[in-house]
């Protein structure tokens, strides 16, 4: 497992950041903000992005704060908790995933564990995942880390993917995180 993300190997996976969670998730606004930053950063860095929606007929669509940055990126509908089984879920030959989304201890965790069992290196943007309770979020993070996922932050991950300063991409990413 490489503790550093590599942009030629990484896909961003955004799990179930949907409207129905807005009023029940602890830290929802901050999580959405960090997920939106990751999506924008992935677009700047030309990373593949996979976005899932858990039963959108009941839980609604991906929130507007993120959707506005997803032009031409399809949403993968699912009913299984792990995103890996969603129709269209394909890492396109990449073997690292940077993951964010909701809920840390359910859909994010089950996705992370399935990816790990498929020999994919997984980095969890810990400031871009949330659950209904802080305790559930923490249990999810602890379990994923013990299972082999690398805990990171959105800013740490984006700067790892950048690798160096002094580029137009660096300037664009810097504007996102400051």
Phi, psi of 134, deg, nearest 5:
-60, -35
Alpha carbon distance 53, 61 (integer Å): 7
Residues 6+ apart with CB under 8 A from 150: 1, 3, 121, 122, 123, 124
> 10, 56, 3, 36: which is closest to 128 by C-alpha?
36
Cα atoms in the 13 Å half-sphere on the side-chain side of 48 = 16
**Catalytic residue chosen out of the listed positions 35, 78, 100, 127:** 78
- Does the active-site annotation cover 100? no
> 97, 129, 155: which is closest to 17 by C-alpha?
129
**Catalytic residue chosen out of the listed positions 35, 100, 107, 127:** 107
- Does the active-site annotation cover 78? yes
- Does the active-site annotation cover 16? yes
**Catalytic residue chosen out of the listed positions 16, 35, 100, 127:** 16
User: Three-class SS of residue 113?
Assistant: helix
| Residue 76, both tokens | 């993968």
Alpha carbon distance 13, 4 (integer Å): 17
Query: Quick check: 152 and 122 in contact, CB under 8 A?
Result: no
Query: Quick check: 173 and 159 in contact, CB under 8 A?
Result: yes
Catalytic residue numbers, as ranges: 16, 78, 107
């Amino acid at each position: 497992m490489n503790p550093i993300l590599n942009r030629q190997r990484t896909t961003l996976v955004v799990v179930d950041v949907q409207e129905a969670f807005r009023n029940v998730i602890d830290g929802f606004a901050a999580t959405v903000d960090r997920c939106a930053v990751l999506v924008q950063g992935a677009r700047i860095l030309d990373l593949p992005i996979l976005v899932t929606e858990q039963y959108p007929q009941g839980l609604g669509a991906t929130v507007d704060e993120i959707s506005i940055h997803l032009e031409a990126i399809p949403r993968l509908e699912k009913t299984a908790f792990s995103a890996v089984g969603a129709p269209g879920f394909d890492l396109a030959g990449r073997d690292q995933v940077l993951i964010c989304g909701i809920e840390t201890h359910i859909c994010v965790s089950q996705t992370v564990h399935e990816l790990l069992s498929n020999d994919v290196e997984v980095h969890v943007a810990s400031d871009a995942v949330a659950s209904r309770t802080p305790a559930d979020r923490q249990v999810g993070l602890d379990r994923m880390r013990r299972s082999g996922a690398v805990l990171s932050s959105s800013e740490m991950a984006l700067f790892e993917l950048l690798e160096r300063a002094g580029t137009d991409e660096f300037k664009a990413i810097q504007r996102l995180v400051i």
